[in-house]
Amino acid sequence: MFQTLASGAAAGREGDLSSGGARGDALESLLARRILFVAGKGGTGKSTIAAALALIAAGSGRRVLCVDVDVKGDLARALGAEPVGFQPRLVQPGVSVLALLPEESLSEYLRIWFKVPRVARLTPLVRVLDFVATGVPGTREMLTTGKIAYEERREERGRPTWDLIVVDSPASGHLLPQLSAARSMMELTRGGIIRSQTEWVDQTLTDPRRTLLAICALPEEMPVAEAIELHDRAQAEAHVAVGACFLNSTLPVPVTPRDTGVLEALASGHAQAAAARLGGQLGPVLEGAAIARRLHDGDRRHASRLRAHMRVPVLEVPRQVGTAPGLETTRAVAAAVGGSAV
Amino acid sequence: MRREAGPAAAGDVVEKLARHRMIVCCGSGGVGKTTVSAALGMAIAAARDTRVLVLTIDPARRLATALGLTSIGTRPVTIAPERLRAAGLAPRGQLDAAMLDAKSEWDRLVERHAPSPEVRDRILANRFYRGISTAFAGSQEYVALDAVYDLQASGEYGCVVVDTPPSRNALDFLDAPDRLTDFVSARLLAWLAGPSRFGLRAMGFAATPFLRMADRLLGGEVLEELGAFVRDIQGLYGSVRRRAAAMYDLLRSPATAFTVVTTLDPQPFAEAEFLCARLGERSMPLRAVVVNRVLPRALLDPAGAVAATTLAEDPGVGAWLSAELGEPVAPAVPRRLGQAFLALHALAEGQEAQVARLGGLGRVPVARLPLADREVSDLDSLGELARRLREGPG
């Protein structure tokens, strides 16, 4: 039911990407990159939106890798799969997922770049390196970003293994160090192998034709403020371009004061007739209309604040009702965002 | 007989929490923790003749302004009693608010624990210091706890309400002292701090390949510098460990009351369930649950849903409305009204699914705060929430 509401409501909305075409263009522009970081404050539905974008991209024939930077496995779940490990696993047609576990990131890193065999005794080493990674800004993040950049470069039979890599990023506070890891490493390390690798990672991330950031927000003060801050800082500090903002969980039905006026008029002088004609109670509907109006006003206020500040498309995603995060919700979100998913 | 958990009268929450000297509000991000902490502080200042402090971390700007917190800094600001009265509360005590500044708290921590002024200066000047102090998991939580501990020890406040940082994992707060102790612990770092590389070799691990690797990875001088830093940090160990132990004592003492804040949305609620269970395992006492943004029960009304379905789906209803009201009503109007109700009805049903599980959070009083009429961002709306916490939604 919600999808139909959403498309109906989105169509006539002022300031929104009113036509399906504009929405589609914004979406296509995002999906035409090589790497897409999906970021935002916790609880903004990042994983679901990242998964929905992956399904839409796969729907247009792309081979997509989803990267879960959080060990919670939310991204795999949003794609209808059990939590995955470090090796990419195909979970939907055209969509593979991998989880970036810190320890495995490190041992793979060592294996790829230093030809260190995978050994069981790596653990104490990892603990110490983990400390080094905490101390030297960017080391840990570099492992993550390095792996993503490595996957971007991977080729099979002369063509890239992945057309698009969608990264379910950690919360904003950890994302910026991650995005600027290569840069800060370049400033810190004057020698060492890492120095030479950081340059191409940095080039990949700061090239807006290859890498974009999509920011998720909720129609509430703090998430909007954080989205705006992330938007500014990603560009100023990490030099990563922002491609779009998803305002998640909006109420898809615009109720105007005139609408509620009609309901009030009905309730005040025509309650009996209304009860007979409508076959139920008008009181709760009246209360619901007032709440809907308030929520909708809030949505509009927050959407315009985002639009006023960001010079990127702000796509509204209607709140999904009654479903827990999972493939079904992801498909609904994909449909609401305006793409055809696999 | 003990009251069963579940829908207890909301007044119980304030009454129960007001007896404690420290109230720690935790819950997943985005549930309105800061707002609830502030409202709780107001309610306690109204209920009890004592000095109450609300310590927030990174509040929304408008909320900070409402509390009179214009600049960052851990210095408490007193909220004038007139302002509380204007917000509809009759304060018996005094309400202060403070906003934690993690950066300066870290400097303070180093100053306090450093064994000598020389070590302190070296640490503060080290280029890894800022990265380390802010990067490791739970660092913000630790300094928050450290500041709270001092405030408690000062005895200045009869009650301190702590709004925990908006961490991805609310448990970071509880584990922060251990993590910091680990962090400066001799065992893990002895290696890097060893006086020479031969010292490392002597540890018996595969030290040589490690060092070779680390050298190649980072470049030699980075490792040297880090080693020197680690040696300095270790000077803090004994002092930090003692303090961490004292913090855990405080967190587990009867003076402390943990309050879990959640909404009835499935994800935050699942996190609240997880958090309540972990609190129990750590012998940290859960004393109350605050459920925020509860939709009104009218939205669950099946008779409302019937009327809304007719409005949304009956093609003749627009014409009927026009005739009945004697003015033209576009068919889209009843459709929107009906759809809006049905959308909210589904949301309310989604919340209701969690209500049944409230009792499982613990045998503690539960307060329910309604979805606010507007965004809670001024003292009036905070006062309204504080009243609801005291009197219940009735």
Whole-number pLDDT of residue B185: 57
d(CA A195, nearest CA chain B) in Å: 8
Report residue B201's pLDDT band, with 50, 70 and 90 as the boundaries. Answer: very low
Does residue A276 lie within any of the structural domains? no
Does residue A14 lie within any of the structural domains? yes
pLDDT, mean of residues B220-226: 66
Whole-number pLDDT of residue B236: 78
Q: Is the confidence at residue A135, as pLDDT, over 60?
A: no
Does residue A173 lie within any of the structural domains? yes
d(CA A61, nearest CA chain B) in Å: 32
Whole-number pLDDT of residue A322: 65
Please indicate whether, in this complex, the C-beta atoms of B217 and A282 are within 8 angstroms of each other: no
For B307-353, what is each residue's pLDDT tens digit? 999 999 999 999 999 999 999 999 999 999 999 999 999 999 989 98
A220-224, A268-272, B172-176, B200-204: the lowest-pLDDT one: B200-204
pLDDT, mean of residues A106-114: 66
Angle at alpha carbon of residue A129, lines to A124 and A132, rounded to 5°: 140
Query: Do A246 and A240 form a contact (C-beta atoms < 8 A)?
Result: no
Whole-number pLDDT of residue B258: 95
Whole-angstrom CA distances from B36 to A135, B259, B381 are: 35, 10, 11
Share the mean pLDDT of chain A.
81
For chain B, percent of residues with pLDDT exceeding 70:
78
Closest C-alpha among B14, B3, B31, B9 to residue B264: B31
Q: Is the confidence at residue A330, as pLDDT, over 60?
A: yes
For A218-254, what is each residue's pLDDT tens digit? 998 888 988 999 999 999 988 999 999 999 999 878 8
Does residue A122 lie within any of the structural domains? yes
Tabulate helix, strand, coil % of chain B (nearest 5): 60, 15, 30
Beta pairing class for A211-217 and A89-92 = unpaired
Instruction: Count up the domains in chain A and report the number.
Output: 1
Share the mean pLDDT of chain B.
81
Query: What CATH number is associated with residue A233?
Result: 3.40.50.300
Report residue B28's pLDDT band, with 50, 70 and 90 as the boundaries. Answer: confident
Which tokens in the block code for residue B61? 């700007």
Does residue A324 lie within any of the structural domains? yes
Q: pTM of the entire structure? A: 0.81
Please indicate whether, in this complex, the C-beta atoms of B339 and A288 are within 8 angstroms of each other: no
Does residue A264 lie within any of the structural domains? no
pLDDT, mean of residues A194-200: 70
φ/ψ of B74, rounded to 5, equals: -80, 0
Judged by a CB distance cut-off of 8 A, whether residue B337 touches chain A is yes
Does residue A206 lie within any of the structural domains? yes
B255 vs A69, more confident: B255
B107-116, B122-131, B247-256: the lowest-pLDDT one: B122-131
> Chain B partners of A270 at a C-beta cutoff of 8 Å?
324-325
Beta pairing class for A159-160 and A155-156 = antiparallel
Whole-number pLDDT of residue A286: 94
Please indicate whether, in this complex, the C-beta atoms of B347 and A319 are within 8 angstroms of each other: yes
Whole-angstrom CA distances from A8 to A1, A5, A124, A336 are: 11, 5, 58, 11
For A10-33, what is each residue's pLDDT tens digit? 333 334 454 567 788 889 999 999
Residue A105: which domain range?
Answer: 8-253+304-338
For chain A, percent of residues with pLDDT exceeding 90:
48
Report residue B105's pLDDT band, with 50, 70 and 90 as the boundaries. Answer: confident
Does residue A3 lie within any of the structural domains? no
Closest C-alpha among B51, B66, B67 to residue B18: B51
pLDDT, mean of residues A101-119: 64
Question: At B124, which amino acid appears?
Answer: L
Q: Is the confidence at residue B110, as pLDDT, over 60?
A: yes
Judged by a CB distance cut-off of 8 A, whether residue B320 touches chain A is yes
Pick among B337, B345, B371 to test the A interface (most A CBs inside 10 A): B337
Whole-number pLDDT of residue A194: 62
| Separation of alpha carbons B55 and B58, rounded Å | 10
Question: Three-state DSSP class for B136?
Answer: coil
Q: Is the confidence at residue B227, as pLDDT, over 80?
A: no
Q: Is the confidence at residue A67, as pLDDT, over 90?
A: yes
pLDDT, mean of residues A146-151: 84
Beta pairing class for A314-318 and A242-250 = parallel
Please indicate whether, in this complex, the C-beta atoms of A294 and B374 are within 8 angstroms of each other: yes
pLDDT, mean of residues A207-220: 94
| Separation of alpha carbons B217 and B215, rounded Å | 5
Q: Is the confidence at residue B202, as pLDDT, over 60?
A: no
Report residue A140's pLDDT band, with 50, 70 and 90 as the boundaries. Answer: low
Q: Is the confidence at residue B35, as pLDDT, over 60?
A: yes
